[in-house]
Amino acid sequence: MGACVGVRHVVVFTADGLPKIWSEATERDDADRIAATESGLQSLDRSISISYGLSPSRREVMIRFLRQSLTCSKPPRRRWRE
């Protein structure tokens, strides 16, 4: 993976919170923790969306801290051409 200024960790994880791949600077324990946290946030987002009659097809969940943020983005769906 290339470098992005200010990005400390990158983790790709499954819907049930298991890390698939992570950046070189990320330890396995951190990848596990980040994946589980983000999976939980996605579940909370779906639950809130449904309870307010909104579509649970969110694109991004973000928590902002004083000098940093935790962001979970869903990749866009691609339609493959044959």
Query: Could you report the per-residue pLDDT of 39-77, keeping only the tens digit for each?
Result: 888 888 888 888 888 876 666 777 788 887 777 776 666
Helix spans in 52-78 (H): none
Triad 10, 69, 44: Cα angle to 5°: 85
Mean pLDDT of the chain: 79
Query: Could you report the per-residue pLDDT of 6-28, keeping only the tens digit for each?
Result: 778 888 888 788 999 998 889 99
Buried b or exposed e, range 51-65, using 16+ CB within 10 angstroms: eeeeeeebeeeeeee
| Residue listed under structure tokens 């819907």 | 15
